[in-house]
Amino acid sequence: MKTFADKAYDLLRKVPRGRVTTYKEIAHALGTRAYRGIGQAMRRNGTAIQKKIKMLKDEGIEFDGGKVRNFEQVLFRFS
């Protein structure tokens, strides 16, 4: 049986390259409002934030002052 974190990661893997999502979007797709639980699961994967940012930049995501530029255009929704 898959854990809550496993289910969250399964969804995260479905986000296309060059797109981003939020803990809220993942939680809604799982049928819950446990946004913080999603955040905790993502934090436990051991990848440092700078590595995650580099990965996103390599996919073409642009940042402005630590925030994703054109967020609404690159946001991936599961619905």
* Domains held by the chain: number: 1
Nearest CA to 17 among 74, 73, 63, 68?
74
The parent domain of residue 54 ranges over 4-68
Residue 23 lies in a domain: yes
Residue 36 lies in a domain: yes
Report the pLDDT value the prediction gives residue 48, as an integer from 0 to 100.
86
Residue 39 lies in a domain: yes
Answer yes or no: are the C-beta atoms of 76 and 19 closer than 8 Å: yes
- The model's pTM: 0.90
Indicate the pLDDT class of residue 49, thresholds 50, 70 and 90. Answer: confident
Residue 27 CB coordination number (10 Å): 19
Residue 75 lies in a domain: no
